[in-house]
Amino acid sequence: MGEAFASRFDFVATWFEDVSRRSGVDLAATFFGAGAPELHDDLPAQVGVFAVSIAALDVLERIHGLVPDAVAGYSLGTYAAFVAAGSLDRGAALDVLLTAERLLEEDRRARASHPGGMGFVIGLSKSAVEAEIGGGDVSIGNENAAQQFVLTGERDAVAKAIERVRPKALKAEMLPIGLAMHSGRLGEVSRRLRILLEGKTAFRMPKCDLYAPMLGRRVSSLEELSSVLFNQISRPSLWSSTLAAMGADGFSVFAEVGAGDVLTKLLRWTVRDALGFVVDEPEGAEAFSRAMMTSEVAPHG
């Protein structure tokens, strides 16, 4: 993850070295080649995804002259989206990520006897999912598409909800996540994150449209910027509504920057006439750049 960018561009290698020093995660040792056993642990994974997302953005701008007209970040991607929009310096965004990860780990340890968990449901409507999950410490944490949801809450409660919906769903399984992300269980984490960083984090209004899944729409004020940054981990993520809002505002050509292509697949469920590109390596950046300079994107605005 990120190895091709770093080997091709010195500025990416320098960026990865800076992130490694600041985070304590050796990106090259963790993610290059076959990868290290701990690459899926929370801290390395989050730092790695953030670093590669920023690297991809840098390559698009510095090599191909491409900057976004609008950005949106899925969960952890919020930090990179703030950087892409010019609302937060990359160093400040990394500081928020690292502080949030520390607080989440403290919360995980404090709740060791009743850990959080998450599971996904595909093939049911939101109302059908809500009717099946019942009460208790479980809720919809991520609305990914019209019939794709992630449940979040106390792990045993989520597991029981998954068992209830499985016979009716196309697919329903637990996820290997030990936190109740995007749930009220993390409200104290959000509160502490704000207390620790609010006065030390300089926000700017975005230089392009910045959409926030916590809101399901475009951010419109500095107050909303602050609220999204500090609270999004404890609030539901309305990704499908966010994509729909972007589509309604006329955006139809999307590039997924960073590792993977999950968001590009989700895009087709919501903005059906959109054109999506995956920029997770130099070849992807080149393909996107070529498309932007040809008639390939013309039907999409």
Spatial separation of the C-alpha atoms in residues 112 and 95, rounded to whole Å: 26
Tell me whether residue 248 is exposed, middle or buried, using C-beta atoms within 10 angstroms of its C-beta: 0 to 12, 13 to 18, 19 or more: exposed
Q: Please tell me the total number of residues recorded for the chain in this structure.
A: 301
- The CATH code of domain 116-175 reads 3.30.70.250
Average pLDDT, the chain: 94
Going from N- to C-terminal start, the domains of the chain cover 70-109+183-250, 116-175
Residue 300 has pLDDT above 70, yes or no: no
Which class would CATH give 70-109+183-250?
Answer: alpha beta
pTM beyond 0.85: the answer is: yes
Structural contact between residues 210 and 87, judged by C-beta atoms closer than 8 angstroms: yes
Q: pLDDT for 145-178, tens place per residue?
A: 999 999 999 999 999 999 999 999 999 999 999 9
Name the token pair of 53: 């997302």
Give the whole-number percent of the chain exceeding pLDDT 70: 97
Name the token pair of 108: 């995980």
Give the whole-number percent of the chain exceeding pLDDT 90: 87
